[in-house]
Amino acid sequence: MAKSGAPNTGARYRLIVASRVLAAGVGGYALTSLTAADLALLLSHLGAASRAEGVLIATQWSFAVYATIVVWAFAARSALRVWVGLLLAGIALCALLAVLRAAP
């Protein structure tokens, strides 16, 4: 039986792990989708690739982005830090997406 004062035991620990799993799975997917959309539009606006090529390149990079987010979600000091990081990155990527969509 674990001591009552032992860290990382019990329901609190399980909730923290569940929060990180949710952040890695759902938050990582959302952030990866935004990153892929931004990269695809950026490549086509810069003339570095056609729209179809930009989508393919962005999709390929999205696998590396997602893997990085998942690793980071479990390596961060706290689950709160993960959620705040995902939120701030998501806001920045949404703003970039809005700017890229508005550009001719």
pLDDT tens, 2-13?
A: 555 556 678 999
Q: What is the mean pLDDT of residues 22-37?
A: 97
Q: Which two tokens stand for residue 76?
A: 């961060």
pTM of the model: 0.84
Evaluate whether 31 touches 93 at the Cβ level (below 8 Å): yes
User: What is the pLDDT confidence band of residue 1, given thresholds at 50, 70 and 90?
Assistant: very low
CA distance 20 to 22: 5
Evaluate whether 75 touches 41 at the Cβ level (below 8 Å): no
- Between 51-75 and 28-46, two packed helices, what is the crossing angle to 10 degrees? 150
Domain boundaries, the chain: 29-102
- Per-residue HEC secondary structure of 51-93 comes to HHHHHHHHHHHHHHHHHHHHHHHHHCCCHHHHHHHHHHHHHHH
pLDDT tens, 64-90?
A: 999 999 999 999 999 999 999 999 999
CA distance 74 to 58: 25
